[in-house]
Structure 1
C-alpha cells in the first residue's frame, strides 16, 4: 500500500502537492472564526497554501512568497493565528534545501532562522528568547541537513542514470560502427568470391566455345567447371547475405571461411580453369589464426584472379610460394605473362583488388608489394607477421 501511494505521488506530483495544500487550508479555516480579522486571515491562508502547489518547479519562489505572507502575519501582532498553514513554510524550506543550490538554501535557512526568532520574541518574550532560539536553531539545522542530504542523493542517482543512458548510447554507437565495419568486410569478401568465380567462369566459357565442335570432351569439362564454380559462388554469397540480414549464418551447413587448408583446392580450381599453377611450401608450417589464414587465402585467390585476367593468353605458368621464416610468412605469387596488372584506381580494382590485399596485410602489421618482374611476368609478394606486433 505504501509503495503504491509513493508511486502514485511520483507520477502525479502536482495533484499530491495540491491535496496537501488543500488539506492544510481546510484545517486552517477552523482557526479563522476565533479572531476578528477573518478576511485578512483568509487572504494570508491562501498566500501560505497556494504557492505550495508549485514547490517542485519553483522552490525558491514558493518559499519567498510564503515567507512574505508570514511577515505580514507577524505584523498583525497576533491578531491572526495561522499555525497549521505555517507548517507548510517548514516544508517549503526543506524543499529549498533539497532542490536549490547550496548558497540559496543557506540564505533560506537564514530567513527561516530570523523568522523563527521573531515569532519566539512575540510569543515568549525576551526572557525565554535564548532557550527558544536554541530550539529553533536545532529545528532549522535539522531540516536543512535532511533536505540537503536527500537532494544530494537525488542528484547522485540522477547522474548515475544519465551516465547509464550515455553508456548505453555509446554502446549502441559502437555496435553500429562494428556492424558497418563487418558489412565492409563482407563486401570485400563478396568481391573476392564473385571476382574469382566469374573470372574462372568467363575463361572456361571462352574455352568451351572454342572447343565445342573440335574437342567436345574438353568443352564438357569446361562446362562442368563453370557449373561447380557457380554453385560454390552462390553458396558463399548466400552465407554472406545471411550474415548481413540476420547477423549470423542461416545454416551451419554453409561453407566455413576458407583458410590454409583450402589452398590446395584453390590451386586445383585454377588448374582446371586452364592456368598451370604450382604450389610450394618452404620452411616449417605454423598454425595461423583464422584471420591470418583467411588473409593468405584471399591474397592468393586475388593474385591468381589477376593472373587470369591480365597476364594474357601466353602465360605458361604461375607459381604460389609460401615461405615460413622465424616470425614471418611470405606469400609470393608469380607468373610469366605479359606483366600487366589491374590499376588499383579502376572500377574493377575499386579498392578491393590489390588495394584490398594491402588492407588485409596491413591489418596484421605486414606489407605488400606488387609489380612486373624483371624478364617478364608479374609478382605479388606479401609479408605477414606470424605474431601480433
Structure 2
C-alpha cells in the first residue's frame, strides 16, 4: 500500500510541492500584521498588497521547483533581494531560498549548486548586516555563523541526495541490464534446446519412418506370397511406431507448460546398439556389429551421441546405398577415446540426396560438443564410410564437474 502511495506521489510532483508550500504560506499570512502594523518602532510598515505580493512571489513559484529548479531559485532569490532593498525584514517565506538551494544541489550540476550556495550565503550576509547586527558591535559578523552553518547544511544535504539518486539510478540501470542479459541468455539456451530437440526428432523420425516404409513395402509385396513374413513386417511396423512415439513423447515433454512432464523412458545408449542393428537388419539391410577393446563405462550423454551417430549413419545407408548394400558397424574402445566406424558397400559417391537432410550437420554438432572429430565420405572402390572419434576422458570430466 505504501509503495503505491509513494509511486502516486512521484507521478504528481507539482501537487506534492503545492502541499509542502501551504504551511509556509499559512505562517506567512498569520504574521501579516507584524509587517502591515509593526509592533516596534524600528520596523517599517508596508501596505498589505505589497506584503502579499512578496509572499506570493516567494511561495507560488515553489510549485514548479522540481521542474525548473534554477529558474525558481532565481525568482525566489530576486524577490528576497527586492524586499531587502526596500528594507522589508525577512519573513517565514524566505525559508524558500534555502529550500531551493537544496533543490538545485540535489537536481542540477555541481557548478549550479556552487553558484546557488554562493548566492544564498551572500543573501544571508546582507540580511545580517542590515537587520541583526548593531552598527558598533565588536563582533558583528558572529551573527552570520548560524546562517552559514544552516546554508552549508542545506547545500551538503542536497549534494548527498544528488549522489544517492545517481547511485540508485545506476543500480536500477544495472539491474535492468542484468535482466536483459538474463533474458538473452535464456533465449540462447532455449534456442540451443530447440536445436537439440530438432536433432533428436530428426534422428527418431528419420530412422523410424524409414524402417516403417521399408517394412510396409515389403509387407504389401509379401502379403499374397508369404503371409507369415508380411505379418512379421506389420508387427515390426507397429513396434517401430510405438518406439518412435515413446521417444517423441519423452522429448516433447520438456515443452509442456506444466512442471510435470510425466515419466520418461531412459535415453538409448551403447547397450541398445545391438537392438538397433537387429531392427535395421529386420528392415532388410544386412548389417553387422563388432566391438573391440575393453568396454568402459561411458557418460550417458556420450552414449546417446554414439547411438545417434550409428542410427543416423545406418538410416542414410538404408536410404541411399541401394537395395543390395550391406553395412558394418565397428565400435572400438581406446584408452582415452571411443571410435565408431560405419561402412557400407553401396553406391557411395554415386548416391543422390535431396539436399534437405540435417543428419550429417547434427552428427557434426554432437561430436563437436565433446571435442571430437567426424569424417564422412565415399570409400575407395565404392561405398560410404562414417568415422567418429569421441574423447572419453573429457566427457567423463565434464559429467563429473556438472554433478
> TM-score under structure 2 normalisation?
0.87
Given the alignment, which residue of 159, 164, 169 partners 2:170? 159
2:335 is paired with a residue whose SS is coil
Identify which range, 68-77 or 32-41, moves more after superposition. 32-41
Aligned twin of 1:246: 257
Matches within 5 A, 1:275-354: 275-315=285-325, 317-340=326-349, 346-347=355-356, 349=357, 352-354=358-360
- Aligned partners of 1:2, 1:169: CA distance in 2, in Å? 28
Q: Matched residues in 1 for 2:341 and 2:330: separation? A: 5
Matched, 1:86 2:75: no
Deviations 1:43-93 (A, max 9, x none): 121111112122222222221211111111111112xx4511111221111
User: In structure 2, how many angstroms separate the alpha carbons of the residues matched to 1:5 and 1:371?
Assistant: 71
With over 3 angstroms needed to count, the CA separation of the structure-2 counterparts of 1:342 and 1:72, relative to structure 1, is: farther
1:39 counterpart residue number: 49
Q: Any idea what the Cα deviations from partners look like across 1:76-118, whole Å, max 9, x if unmatched?
A: 112xx45111112211111222222221111111111101101
RMSD: 2.5
Distance in 1, Cα, partners of 2:206 & 2:187 = 28
- 2:382 is paired with a residue whose SS is coil
CA distance 1:107–1:45, change in 2 (3 Å): same
Counterpart in 2 of 1:219?
Answer: 230
Distance in 2 (alpha carbons) for counterparts of 1:285 and 1:57: 77
Q: CA deviation at 1:6?
A: 6.8
Match of 1:48 among 50, 58, 68: 58
- Structure-2 residue corresponding to 1:102: 110
Partner in structure 2 of residue 19 of structure 1? 19
Which position in structure 2 is the counterpart of 1:74?
84
Looking at structure 1, the residues matched to 303 and 260 of structure 2 have their Cα atoms a distance apart, in angstroms, of 20
> Which residue, 359, 368, 371 being the options, matches 2:365?
359
2:214 and 2:142 map into 1 onto residues whose CA distance is 107
For the residues of structure 2 that align with 1:308 and 1:217, how far apart are their CA atoms?
A: 24
Where does structure 1 lack aligned partners over 5 or more consecutive residues?
Answer: none
What is the DSSP-based 3-state SS (H/G/I as helix, E as strand, rest coil) of the residue aligned with 1:368?
Answer: strand
TM-score (norm 1): 0.90
Q: Deviations over 1:329-371 (max 9, x none)?
A: 1110111222257667712x2xx12122112112222111112
2: distance between equivalents of 1:49 and 1:260? 85
Q: Structure 2 CA distance, aligned partners of 1:346 and 1:289? A: 33
Matched residues, number: 382
